[in-house]
Structure 1
């Protein structure tokens, strides 16, 4: 399996086959290079590394995406974190920790996104 397919497989495992299909629908002659970079570098090279497990990588991503206020990516990585074994309680604590260091506005947005994802998965009323 080449790096691109390795990356695509990891994306499927993290966020589901539907996520990869949606990304493929958005691919065009202009943005294909960015999609390939994401598949080959982000997922095939970094996410596939040993040293820390996928759950730990998800925790880091949630904290960083909260700090950067990137709601679209945060939503995807919330899904991935749940798929990687993060519990609702762990997500709450990650976001509370982020509130202290990233600020309430960023954490407030992240809590809102997390609540939406948790409700969609029927993990929260």
Structure 2
């Protein structure tokens, strides 16, 4: 695995969006089987595309969530909901994105998005209450 400034920038963004489990935790669990994929995700996805000018990270999170709902990727929706919250998305914006998605993606896709959002929002709220 090649580690350079682009890789480091990607790891830093992953840490900011997903916490240590989504950054170092993923990298530490890299195997010979999936090491190239982790490098691609860290370097090119988060170290390049997510770092580009033109769209802020909050907007990128909205777009990413919409595409994940459209393609029915429930596991990734849950991951990117956490990232979206870290990038400043509000519960209302997430709700509206999920509601809007039924028009273009269908009710089953929207319902999967709602289920994922309710799960993650409840976890985040419980964690916030525990910190108080």
Q: Which bracket does the TM-score occupy, shorter chain normalised?
A: over 0.9
- Uncovered stretches (5+) of structure 2, i.e. residues with no partner: 127-132
User: Which deviates the most, 114-123 or 44-53?
Assistant: 114-123
> Whole-Å Cα distance in 1 between the matches of residues 68 and 83 of structure 2?
13
- Uncovered stretches (5+) of structure 1, i.e. residues with no partner: none
Are 1:84 and 2:87 an aligned pair? yes
Q: Tell me the C-alpha RMSD between the 2 structures.
A: 1.2
TM-score of the aligned structures, taking structure 2 as reference length = 0.89
Q: Tell me which residue corresponds to 2:38.
A: 35
> Whole-Å Cα distance in 2 between the matches of residues 85 and 92 of structure 1?
14
Deviations 1:61-80 (A, max 9, x none): 00000001111111110001
Q: Tell me which residue corresponds to 1:96.
A: 99
TM-score of the aligned structures, taking structure 1 as reference length = 0.93
1:9 CA drift (Å): 0.5
3-state DSSP of counterpart to 1:122? helix
Q: Tell me which residue corresponds to 2:15.
A: 12
How many residues were matched structurally?
123
Q: Tell me which residue corresponds to 1:70.
A: 73
After TM superposition, list the pairs within 5 Å mapping 1:53-68 onto structure 2. Answer: 53-68=56-71
